[in-house]
Amino acid sequence: MKVGINAVQYDFPKIYLDIEELAIQRQIEPEKLQKGLGLYKMSLLDSNQDIITLGANALYKLLVQENITLPEISRIYVGTESSLDNSKPMASYILQIVEEKLQQKTTNCDVLDITFACIGGVDALQNCLDFVRLNPNKKAIVITTDNAKYDLNSTGEYTQGAGAIALLITSNPKIIAFDSEFGIATSGVFDFFKPKQYIDKQKITSSEANDNWFDILEKEITIIKEQPVFDGYYSNSCYINRITEAFEHFKQENNYQFDVIENWDLICMHLPYSFQGRRTFVEIFATEYPELLEKEKGENKGEKIKALSKSEAYKNIVQQKLQPAEISSSEIGNIYTGSLFLGFLSALYFSAKENKVFKNNTIGFIAYGSGSKSKVFEGNLTENWQQQILKTNLFETLQNRTAIDFETYEKLHKKEIKEPILKAKSEFVLDFIETENPHLKGARYYKFAE
């Protein structure tokens, strides 16, 4: 029995900042970001949007597209590292507001958030695949929804982005089936994380007395930033180590003796920036083709790998197998848990538009999450996958967005803009956050803008 992705939908903010404008303001050569990293546009949340509205919009569009009701869905698992609540899952928020819009109440749907940095969506996918294998008549939905926000003037600023992807998981899927075992590699590290941080209340109140301060009686104030603590160079090293380890484990688990890279028609990788995949996959390529590495000039392995990355053999791999997944990442930026699936959607949409004919109809997936973990797996495209993919109108949607200027971007980043930049239409938006009722303080309420 085949199990996999039956349909896909998404939601991205309708505003963006041109990377060239950011580069100029930060005194960075634009080509360094554009041709060096593959960055062109950065998706940004409007003041009435958050990861809940993104996830709800993606889910709503998926249900409407496939003409299915909420009671038909047995579970909704959300992968995110941008949670807005330390207890109540984003999945329950999303379910609630979509129920209200569709006027379809379901009490038998299992909802859950899964967090492991950028790989949480893949963890949710694997869990739901196993669930449907055991219950082939049931349907599950995986939602990845994130806001990749970094400090102003930081080295991660130009990789920001936001978006959500929703995947319908069923038996006998219409797009892609996953049959093989996953390769896994895990190591507990601090390459990128979002810790709770603490500051002495006295530094804020200028009082030595531990007085009540906005209902906080503790002497310490807990600070939770949307922006991560990270070491870019170290994180890149962890990325390379985990994906190469997971790739080897994938081959072992499946007892593959043939050329895996040759077997994969397309390769989708986690892309914190568009060209991360092509810059790091060369490490796996070098391991798989040691004879090509040996031919390259260089005094050490690092120099040889750098030379190999510029070889015609590797450039062909990039152009044929990696580049199609990069297209939408260049237009949106990093969306954390959804990055891998955005690449998947981008690669297939491009291929469908170009009427590509594949040799093996097999896609390789290389996922990564800081902290750190990688999973490598593959899927087989179904006979008529193009029909489902073309329903999404991905590239056309990305063309129909609004650019904002740098001043507006910085004000949005600092949360200095309260009124939405664009008028919402046919989408969920944040209505208000409760501040008065002590039993509901902090509760988030949403509405559907017709």
CA 144 – CA 117 distance, rounded (Å) = 11
Does 186 score more than 90 pLDDT?
A: yes
145-164 residue pLDDT tens: 999 999 999 999 999 999 99
What average pLDDT does the segment 74-81 reach?
Answer: 98
Question: What pLDDT is stored for residue 179 in this prediction?
Answer: 83
Confidence label for 302 from pLDDT (cuts 50, 70 and 90): very high
Note the pLDDT of residue 208. 87
CA distances from 276 to 237, 268, 316, 330, 332 (A): 12, 11, 17, 11, 14
Q: Tell me how far apart the alpha carbons of residues 240 and 247 are, in angstroms, rounded to a whole number.
A: 11
Strands 220-223 and 15-18: unpaired
Helix (H, G, I), strand (E, B) or coil at 121: helix
Question: Would you say residue 190 has pLDDT above 90?
Answer: yes
Task: Answer yes or no: is pLDDT of 401 > 90.
Answer: yes
Tens-digit pLDDT profile for residues 409-426: 999 999 999 999 999 999
In the chain, pLDDT over 90 holds for what percent of residues? 96
* pLDDT tens-digit series, residues 356-371: 999 999 999 999 999 9
pLDDT of residue 347: 98
How far apart (Å, rounded) are the C-alpha atoms in residues 121 and 114?
A: 7
Query: pLDDT at position 258, please?
Result: 84
| pLDDT, mean of residues 300-327 | 96
Quick one: DSSP state of residue 298?
Answer: -
Closest alpha carbon to 143 in 67, 87, 60 = 60
pLDDT digits (tens, 9 = 90+) for 278-297: 999 999 999 999 999 999 99
DSSP class of 285:
H
- Can you list the domains of the chain with their CATH numbers? 3-191+231-449 (3.40.47.10), 196-223 (no CATH)
376: pLDDT strictly greater than 90: yes
- Alpha carbon separation from 203 to 57, 199, 221 (Å, rounded): 41, 7, 10
Confidence at residue 181, expressed as pLDDT on a 0 to 100 scale: 92
Q: What is the DSSP letter of 182?
A: P
SS (H, E, C) 344-372: HHHHHHHHHHCCCCCCCCEEEEEEEECCC
Rounded distance, CA 129 to CA 111, Å? Answer: 15
Mean pLDDT of 82-92: 97
* Whole-number pLDDT of residue 180: 78
For 24-46, what is the mean pLDDT? Answer: 97
Q: Could you tell me the CA-to-CA distances from 50 to 147, 229, 299, 395, 447 in Å, in that order?
A: 8, 21, 50, 23, 13
Mean pLDDT (the chain, rounded): 96
Tell me the two tokens of residue 175: 């797009």
Does residue 352 carry a pLDDT above 90?
A: yes
Q: What is the pTM of this model?
A: 0.97
d(CA 151, CA 191): 16
- Provide the pLDDT for residue 187: 98
Q: Which helix (H) or strand (E) is 57 found in, with range?
A: helix 51-66
Q: What type of residue sits at position 334?
A: N
